[in-house]
Amino acid sequence: MVPIYYYLILSAILFSIGVGAFLIKRNIISVFMSIELMLNAVNLTFVAFAHHWHQVSGQIFVFFVMVVAAAEAAVGLAIIIAIFRTRATLDVDRIDLMKL
Amino acid sequence: MTGSLNLWLIPLVPFAGFLVNGLIGRKLPKAFVSAIALIATIIPFAQVVKIWFQFSGLTLPYLENHGTWIWTGNFNANFTLALDQLSMVMLLIVTGVGFLIHIYSVGYMAHEEGYWRFFAYLNLFMFFMLTLVLSENFLLMFVGWEGVGLASYLLIGFYFLKDSAVKAGMKAFVVNRIGDFGFLIALFLLVAHFGTLSFGAIFSAVAQHPEWQGGFLTAVALFLVLGATGKSAQIPLYVWLPDAMEGPTPVSALIHAATMVTAGVYMVARTHPIFERSPLALSTVAFIGAITCFFAATMGLVQTDIKRVLAYSTVSQLGYMFLGCGVAAYSAGIFHLVTHAFFKALLFLAAGSVIHSLGGEQDMRVMGGLRKKIPITFWTMTMAVFAICGFPPFAGFFSKDEILYQAFIWPHGGKILWFIGWVTAGLTSFYMFRLWYLTFLGESRAQTHELAEQGAAVHARSDSKLVVEAEHTHGVHESPWVMLGPLVILAILSVIGGFIGVPAAMGRHDEIGHFLEPVLGSVPHAAGESSGLELGLSAAAVAIGLLGLLVVHFMYKVKPELPGKLATQFRGLYSLLLNKYWVDEIYGAVIVTPLLLFSRYILKALFDRGVIDGAGFAAGMTAQGFGAIVQRVQSGNIRSYAGWLAVGAAVLLIAVYFGFTSHFPPQ
């Protein structure tokens, strides 16, 4: 049986990659993908712990996260398309209308 | 007792008149405005007369409670009105003389701008004055006290386009505030000591403790005196009253002669149980009164403005009333208050009639020879002059003699007080007959005198231009009957008014003294052997009055060039008197200027601008500067926000991992 910390380490690595990509990437699509990556890293921990403690609730949480992520993807992509149409760019650094 | 007297109607009817005229009077025709004002004063007068006829059947003091005003902790003050002999006398004076002056004003103000405003203010004054007189506690009295000050301010500044009138109003208000400050301190002391402000409660507490002498009561009494000197124009706070003559003449008659300025005398008489316990306070009142009556009379000797002579005369006569109260002869003070209300109101109204007939001229140097042209004014004013100079049997004779006699028999320096009062009687006679000769006798000096043009120009500003033109077209003329009627009534009262207080020494019973006895206590009186003294003093007073008349006759009739000669010969003394001892200038230099400089440079420039504005500015700048630093975090760059988030998360993780918090202890 694979020990739990293997999953946890893998999850941490995935999450860190997500955070790193979120900070580095300028393209909104890439930023969006890194968010998905972080979410899935968390999902992996949920599943691993659910298996480890023989608790089903962890797996149910994963479904919830997936549903929310799907909704977020739908809304997020719609926003991205709207931004691209109006501003003809996907560079997050140039989308700073809210700046003081 | 038969039913309620409805005392509350007496002040509230004039107040209703004030509301109607004040709110919608501008749109009403003049006849309507004056009708409202007159109705609003005759109803209280009629009611007061009605009460007067029921008076003997009443149990006194008659109290009327209209609910609680302030109720806090152990202290409460009610809207309580009280009627006793003293307030009865005051009510008759205020409503009676007030009503006559309202009638007179209808004629006098007929051509003025702001007719409705004038009558609204007059009614407002009546409301506050009647509140003052009827109140049963110090607090309600203070309301009236402040209110008459307000009405006085509004009416002095009635010609508000005229700079001097506005300044005079302000001066009256500010000087009165100084007195009111004293009154307020006295009230605080009374509340601290007695826990109540009701007259009845305080006086009965004082009566139950004969061991209270001086001390605390002296302090209260002296602060009350300060209040009284402000309202009643006594030294050191008399300076506002001569300037108050900027107001229309009926106002001078009603407020600054007959009623409001006597509020201080009324207050001293009303609170006499406190003064009784403090010889120091009584002596203060007596000496303030004596000194004021003397100095004001000397200032009146050389004035050339007819109303200013009367103003100083008022200050002087109020000094007599204070003198009377100060020698514990309160009823004598009130008696003089009554007769003074008659003859001084008459003097002012007659002077107003003279001014009116000359189209706004107030300078006596350009008058003269008016006796034939305005005979009714002349004769009524003559009655008043004889009354104020104390010739028998006119009103002033009895009341002034009563005061002088009481001063003479007062054991604490009474002879000095009497002497000052006696000399002042001569001065009074001099300045009044000087006014009389200059105004009515001799030849008219209007054309010959160089000041004619200048004088007319000066006063054209005070009255509306329309009047001056209208009056000048048909020359000097007698006033209409609406003005002469009150003059005649007041003249009759000035002649016979004194008979309410003829002393026993002259074969009567001093009715007013006995009437007021239940409130003010009895005064020691000439009986048997000392009646000779009383008669002697009367003779002395009449003699000095006649001397004044003779001197005036000599100076202004026999040798008309003499006053000018004397003025040049005693130049220093003359200018000292003409400039009113430079008291205004001294007050200006010693009090007003330093205060203004202090306010302007220390309080405004340093404290207001520096400390207060500076503190506000510094607080604003600090917030702004700090904001400028923190603002950099809000870059608008999503990735920088995410970076801060990541750093924060990392810090939290590290904190948890190394056990820096107690909430997540390591298992």
A46: domain CATH number is 1.10.287.3510
| Residues of the domain holding A47 | 26-92
Selecting from A19, A31, A99 the residue whose C-beta is nearest the C-beta of B636 gives A99
B588 pLDDT higher than 90: no
> What would the mean pLDDT of B202-226 be, rounded to a whole number?
89
CB contact under 8 A, B637 and A96: yes
Residue A21 in any domain: the answer is: no
- For residues B268-288, average pLDDT: 91
Between chains, do B639 and A22 touch, taking CB under 8 Å as contact? yes
The tens digit of pLDDT for each residue in B528-573 reads 556 788 888 889 989 999 999 999 888 888 887 888 888 888 888 8
Average pLDDT over residues B242-264: 90
pLDDT band with cut points at 50, 70 and 90 for residue B351: very high
Q: pLDDT band for B462, please (50, 70, 90 cuts).
A: very low
Q: State whether residue A19 sits within 8 Å of chain B by CB.
A: yes
CA-to-CA distance for B136 and B62, rounded, in angstroms? 10
With respect to residue A37, please indicate whether it lies within any of the assigned structural domains. Answer: yes
The whole-number pLDDT of residue B451 equals 42
Region B265-292 average pLDDT: 92
Task: Identify whether A73 is part of a domain.
Answer: yes
Cα–Cα distance for residue pair B460/B499, rounded to 1 Å: 42
Say whether pLDDT at B231 is over 50: yes
pLDDT number for residue B665: 53
Bridging pattern class, strands B75-83 and B62-72: antiparallel
B424: Cβ contacts below 8 Å, ≥ 6 apart: B293, B294, B297, B316, B319, B320
8 Å CB contact of A100 and B636:
yes
CA distance B361 to B34: 26
Mean pLDDT, rounded, for B445-463: 46
pTM: 0.78
**Position A41 in a domain:** yes
Q: Does A92 touch chain B (CB under 8 A)?
A: yes
pLDDT in tens, B595-640: 999 998 888 888 888 899 999 999 999 999 999 888 887 777 777 8
Distance to chain B for A95, nearest Cα, Å? 8
Between B635 and A11, the higher pLDDT residue: A11
Kindly report, residue by residue over B421-439, the tens digit of the pLDDT: 999 999 999 999 999 988 8
- Please report whether residue A17 resides in a domain: no
Nearest chain A Cα distance for residue B621, angstroms: 19
Give bridge partners of residue B65 from the DSSP assignment: B80
Burial bucket for residue B457 (CB in 10 Å: 0-12, 13-18, 19+)? exposed
In this complex, is the C-beta atom of A38 within 8 Å of any C-beta atom belonging to chain B?
no
Q: With 90 as the cut, is the pLDDT of residue B290 above it?
A: yes
Residue B525's pLDDT is what?
60
pLDDT-derived band at B123 (thresholds 50, 70, 90) equals very high
Q: Is B242 exposed, middle or buried (0-12, 13-18, 19+ CB in 10 A)?
A: buried
Cα(B242)–Cα(B244) distance, integer angstroms: 5
CB-closest option in A22, A26, A97 to B642? A22
A92 closest CB neighbour out of B631, B639, B643: B639
Asked if the interface predicted TM-score (ipTM) of this complex is over 0.85, the answer is no
3-state secondary structure of B67: strand
Residue A87 lies in a domain: yes
- For the CA atoms of chain A, what is the radius of gyration? 17
Instruction: State both tokens at A7.
Output: 């999953």
Model confidence band, residue B265 (pLDDT cutoffs 50, 70, 90):
very high
* A62 lies in some domain: yes
Give the nearest chain B residue to A92 (CA atoms).
Answer: B638
- Number of folded domains that form chain A: 1
Q: Is A99 within the bounds of a domain?
A: no
Band (B447; pLDDT cuts 50, 70, 90): low
More confident of the two residues B498 and B444: B498
Contact B255, B169 (CB under 8 A): no
Task: Say whether residue A29 is in contact with chain B using an 8 A CB cutoff.
Answer: no
Q: Which of A8, A16, A23 has the most B C-beta neighbours within 10 Å, making it the best mutation to test the interface with B?
A: A23
Is residue B209's pLDDT more than 50?
Answer: yes
